[in-house]
Amino acid sequence: MGLTPLSGIPMATRSGDIDPAIIPYIMKLDNLGPEDIEEILNKQSGAWGVSGVSSDYRDIEDGFKMNDQRSILALESQAYKIVGFIGQYVIALGGVDVITFTGRSWRKWF
């Protein structure tokens, strides 16, 4: 995590890492102020913003099963970002012996 929980992997409602140029672009496009951007990045982005379904991954998984394209995109983009971060850690550590995931299985998504 950086200064705030926004950096890193996208979460339920938080954006994760984004291109910084997106912020002034959206501000100009929609005539938004800093407080509006903060609200969007913290509470209307991430899985909720991409899926348009929910910030609850169980609901997004249901959308995935119904072939909802935004739910599919939310799950695939989340997996893509996680794989990218794992790759960065593997390089930084000079390799790994084991990677263990806990919680729900992602295997069923792919």
pTM for this predicted structure:
0.80
Spatial distance between the Cα atoms of 29 and 21, rounded to a whole number of angstroms:
12
Query: What residue ranges do the domains of the chain occupy?
Result: 22-109
Q: Alpha carbon of 1 to those of 5, 9, 61, 106: distances in Å?
A: 6, 9, 26, 23
Task: Give me the mean pLDDT over the 81-107 stretch.
Answer: 86
pLDDT band for position 77 (cuts 50, 70, 90): very high
Q: What is residue 108's predicted lDDT score, i.e. its pLDDT?
A: 57
Torsion of CA 108, 60, 52, 17, to 10 degrees: -60
Domain 22-109 matching CATH 3.30.420.40: the answer reads: yes
* Whether 13 contacts 42, CB under 8 Å: yes
Q: What is residue 107's predicted lDDT score, i.e. its pLDDT?
A: 55
Spatial distance between the Cα atoms of 79 and 73, rounded to a whole number of angstroms:
10
